[in-house]
Amino acid sequence: MAHCMVPEAEAILDREFPVLDKGFVRLVDYLGSDARIVQAARVSYGAGTRSFREDAALIDYLMRHEHTSPFEQVVLTFHIKLPIFVARQWIRHRTARVNEISGRYSILPEEYFMPSPDALAPQSADNKQGRENEPFDAATAEKLRAIIEEASAQSFKAYRALLDAGLAREVSRIVLPLSLYTEWYWQMDLHNLFRFLALRLDPHAQREIREYARVILEITRKVAPAATASFERYMLQGVRFSGPEMEELRRRLGLTAASEDGQETVGSSGLTGKDLARFEEKLRSGLQL
């Protein structure tokens, strides 16, 4: 099958989209598009290309019913520059193919991430792995930034000293900080890319990785606009309800359900405590991209 050329994607190939203070995302290559998805879905009965509306409706159907294999026919390859602490979260998505710069072969440049003052906030009181929404005051933030910058500079000073002493690069690098920027080529099919974006655009994801996810979402929109729009409707902006949550939803809407004796009734869901709080959060949720 011939390569599906998408003018909007071709226009941004190899363009660097800045992220954070020194990072970027660059679309290196792509294979397939919305057209490839519908071609793959219709291969069983050999149907040709339909209208855009019909294609978009089919993509919506596939997304809604979680028929994922046609989305796997589309593959995107990115060149990404990112801090190591972000990369270590990112690599948890093990369905990608990754090639990263190596500190064993290269002398690493003195490039480290410095958070902006509004990114510095206290530890969250109710989220063990996150920060509060409200940042520190400006004076405190500048003191914290100075500590971070001094620690990073000292790490690089030690790194250069070890290299100058003749220590092997693979050992010298161990003193470098998690704020160090790294680079990699990252390739993923569209189905798994959407799963990555659903997790990393969530408000509970770390702020810095959300910045990368937002840029990747917009690049993906250039490659497969109909699929990306469908992803936003059904995955990003939608929520799933458990069985008890559905019972609670029916109760609040005044809908009836058949009981064991055939009588229609509106029962109690049994949601309490944290379960009820999570349900309430789902009702209030609306992802701000």
Q: Which residue has the tokens 């009836």?
A: 256
Helices (H) and strands (E) in the chain, counts: 11, 7
- pTM here is 0.87
- Whether 76 and 190 have beta carbons less than 8 Å apart is answered as yes
Domains (ranges, CATH) in the chain? 7-113+179-236 (3.30.1360.170), 243-284 (no CATH)
Q: Is 200 a catalytic residue?
A: yes
pLDDT at residue number 267: 54
- The half-sphere exposure of 278 on its side-chain side, counting CA atoms within 13 A, is 12
pLDDT at residue number 287: 43
- Strand pairing report for 75-83 and 97-100: unpaired
The runs of H, that is alpha helices, within the chain are 7-10, 34-42, 52-64, 84-90, 138-164, 169-172, 190-200, 207-223, 225-231, 243-253, 273-284
pLDDT at residue number 271: 78
pLDDT at residue number 288: 46
Pick the catalytic residue from 26, 36, 173, 200: 200
pLDDT at residue number 258: 54
Encode the chain (289 residues) as per-residue pLDDT tens digits.
445 789 999 999 999 999 999 999 999 999 999 999 999 998 755 555 567 788 899 999 999 999 999 999 999 999 999 999 999 999 999 899 999 999 999 999 999 999 999 999 999 888 888 899 899 999 999 999 999 999 999 999 999 999 999 999 999 999 999 999 999 999 999 999 999 999 999 988 999 999 999 999 999 999 999 999 999 998 888 778 888 878 887 888 877 655 555 555 555 667 788 878 777 777 777 444 4
